[in-house]
Amino acid sequence: MSTNSLTPALLVLDDGSVFHGNAIGKIGTTTGEICFNTGMTGYQEVFTDPSYFGQILIATNNHIGNYGAYDKDEESEGIKIAGLVVKRFSDKYSRPMATSSLDDYLMTSNLVGISNVDTRELTRIVRSKGAMNAIISSEIEDSAVLLSKLKEVPSMEGLELSSKVTTNAKYEQGPTDAALRIAVLDFGMKRNIARCLNERGAYTGIFPAKASAKEILDFKPDGIMLSNGPGDPSAMGYAIDTVKELLETNIPMFGICLGHQIISLACGLKTYKMHHGHRGLNHPVLNKQTGLSEITSQNHGFAVSPDNVPSNIEVTHINLNDNTVEGIKVKDRPAFTVQYHPEAAPGPHDSRYLFDDFIKLIKEHK
């Protein structure tokens, strides 16, 4: 049994809602924008996804922790979520390859969380009232004090966060005898993005979010990949300007999630903050080019506006739940994007073909 399992904890939302539960992970206080993920597995990949930086995560699946933690399941260097909310939490696990219990993993990562919360009721609040800031504490028992502290937390809208989770310096990986070289602009990259490129025979150079176009071009890339990441894309003027410059080179380009939004902004589209975002492993998307539907992994609180789409842009994918833009193609440049995660680990794998499409596009232009 967790040493914190009997320690009371409080969750307070910006609308004044208060939830009582028990502490998990580190004893302390944490704040962030609250959101929910509907995935039934892959919780460690979710916790370590840099796109969640600055967010308190509600896991809607009933049981969390039952298969422990495993070092190789990390999508970045450690946990990136700001806090965790679950219903039933288990520090016992039955996975032979697990390296620790999830509670030990949370403790080592200094993550503050709360369990025994009615996550169904909590998720309904977020769905009906929209994303809002929240605070978790296992050291302060006065909800009025917590609500007062919460008022000091900035809104996610307008926040530039990629520079806080990107790599500090360029690094390279993949087969050294590869025929293709792909530069990856790391806005908060999940490790599996580079892995999917390496598995297809490409050598990758991973660059910090604020790398210049010249630095990227000096790598002599055959293709350019723009990764996922956290925060408001419209606050990333540095990246938008760099991508505008890179688009002029006609080097094939593929953007995922935040990368999709940055390319869209560079091409004259607009982005907006969503009511409560898309986060889960089960979002249906229509590929308008093939007429086929794919089940996708998603994690984003901002989206590309479907209004005033420039004539050189084709919307290629739409979300079948709410018709939001899920992908575009630049007609006069070898560039395309998707809002979701084709590299999703542990899955689904419906969209892995996009990496094959990117490699094909690069070979056609090489």
Q: Kindly list the catalytic residues.
A: 257, 341, 343
Determine which helix (DSSP H) or strand (DSSP E) holds 41, and give its type and residue range.
none
Residue 53 vs residues 117, 165, 275, 282: alpha-carbon distances, Å: 22, 8, 18, 22
> Are 194 and 259 in contact, with CB atoms under 8 Å apart?
no
Q: Is 13 helix (H, G, I), strand (E, B) or coil?
A: strand
276 secondary structure, DSSP code: E
Amino acid letter for position 241: D
End-to-end CA distance of the chain: 58
Q: Helix 237-247 to helix 258-266 angle, to the nearest 10 degrees?
A: 70
Residue with tokens 């894309």: 233
Nearest to 256 by CA among 225, 293, 223: 225
Strands 325-330 and 18-25: unpaired
Separation CA 290–CA 286 (nearest Å): 9
Strands 313-319 and 271-287: antiparallel
